[in-house]
Amino acid sequence: MTRSDIASKVVEIMEDVFDEDDIAYDDAMTAADIEEWDSLSNIRFVVAIEKEFDIRFSNSEIADLENVGQMVDLIASKQG
């Protein structure tokens, strides 16, 4: 799966979890950019990502993420 494919799937998950249509992906996107992105929806987002890509994140990996682009890169690295 290419980075672009991963980013597209992440956007689909974001649109579902945050109940937003047509999220315009940007690597620099953060929780501050989406009104519905709160602590509870963040957990739902991470769980949905883990299920979709069949991966697991450590607490430190999640804590180190500064934006969605870094999450896409982390997903790609875990898929080998």
pLDDT tens readout for residues 4-37: 999 999 999 999 999 999 899 999 999 999 999 9
Looking at residue 67, the DSSP 8-state letter turns out to be S
Residue type, 71: M
Q: What band does 53 get if pLDDT is binned at 50, 70 and 90?
A: very high
CB atoms within 10 A of CB 5: 11
* CATH of the domain spanning 3-79: 1.10.1200.10
Residue type, 80: G
pTM assigned to the model = 0.93
Mean pLDDT of 41-60: 97
In the chain, what are the domain boundaries? 3-79
Cβ density class 33-68: b for 16+ within 10 Å, e for less: ebeebeeebeeebbebbeeebeeebeeeeeeeeebb
| Cα 25 to Cα 23: distance, rounded to the nearest angstrom | 6
